[in-house]
Structure 1
Amino acid sequence: MDLGKLVGGLNTKDIDKVIKLITENKDVLAALERLPQLFDSFGEGLEAAGGRAREAGAVLIGDGAGGVKDALGDVATSLGGISAAISKGVDRLADVAEGLGRVPMADGPAKSIASAAKEIGGAGSALDDLSGSLETIAELLAKVGSALEQLGDKLDESGTQVKGFMG
């Protein structure tokens, strides 16, 4: 009895080839059975990475309670205030030096005070420059934080899509 004739003209050699293909590739087929689990695991990993990226962004930007950006902004503001106070002190020292310069035999101390005022003024200018640089860094970190939050959203979205791919 020919099985091929019974089932409508199938060639038994073709059936043998299919059976051989299945038996020779049983490891591949077993791996395919694990594919949904692998997709779920990969999706969960993407979602977790998204969460970490959003957390890093929140640390940089702050979430209402302050972040690196706000802390640097506060430092920059403080440095700007210190620079302004130094500038006022320098102006007063310059006035003292000018007044002393008019007093007979006090021009030596007046020159020393004027020189000290100039040195202190240079330090105040450096603090003012540092304040501006910190503000710039704070703004750049806010942009990086925002980009990290957006990356986190995209990773989370991709993870959800990957997990749903096999389901």
Structure 2
Amino acid sequence: MNKPYAIVSKIGAMRSTPAAIVAFTCLSLLVDNIAYSIAFAFLPHVFDDMKLASESQLGIVTTLYGVGTFITSIISGIVSDKMGRRKPLMLIGAVGYGISGIVLFFSHKFWHILVYKLVNGLASGCIYPLSIAIIGDVYPQKLLGLKMSFIQVFGNLGYMVGPLIGGALYDKVGVHGSATLLIERS
């Protein structure tokens, strides 16, 4: 009877170790960058198929993502430092990804795509900077080099994988497939 409790207790203790925090952060940033880049492969096709806007207006979509990350990166950093906790705001970011997926799922106008990318940016602004800050919270400065390199590797892997996933899903099931992935992932 005590054996299952002991296993759960060990898992609980392991999840707050610095190595587990690095692993969670790497996974978190991988997912964050996949979510960020998933639409790049198919948004030009969506614009063309739905006659939403010209492909040249993709810059506006990307700009709104940047505006979202700018706003929430600053706010989430200030709030998490004052609270002394980072995980609740990261959960809010994860929920934001779900919301952005829902917006994308029901998109049929240009302004819907703008809202999708803005909400996606707001969510990323909660996830990305706080994930990096968590690493700084648990490791001394002299040990951060290797940990930050892991973060860069997983972040860049997300940038490589996201467009591949988004393009493949769009080819098979259209916008709804990619949006469903964003909704389910959160």
Provide TM-score, normalisation by structure 2: 0.32
For the pair shown, which has the larger CA radius of gyration, 1 or 2?
1
